[in-house]
Structure 1
Amino acid sequence: MDNQEMAMKYPDVVQFVQLYYQMCDANPSELAVYYKELSMFSMEGQIIHGKNAIVGALSSMNNFIHTVQHIDIMPLVPDNSMPMIGRKL
Structure 2
Amino acid sequence: MEDISKLREEIDSIDEEIVKLLEKRMEISLKIGKCKKQNNINVLDKSREKEIIKSRVEFLKNNDFKQPLEKLLKLIMEISRELQYK
TM-score (norm: length of structure 1): 0.31
Structure with greater helix percent: 2
Greater RCO, 1 or 2 (C-alpha within 8 Å, sep 6+): 2
Structure with greater strand percent: 1
Larger radius of gyration: 2
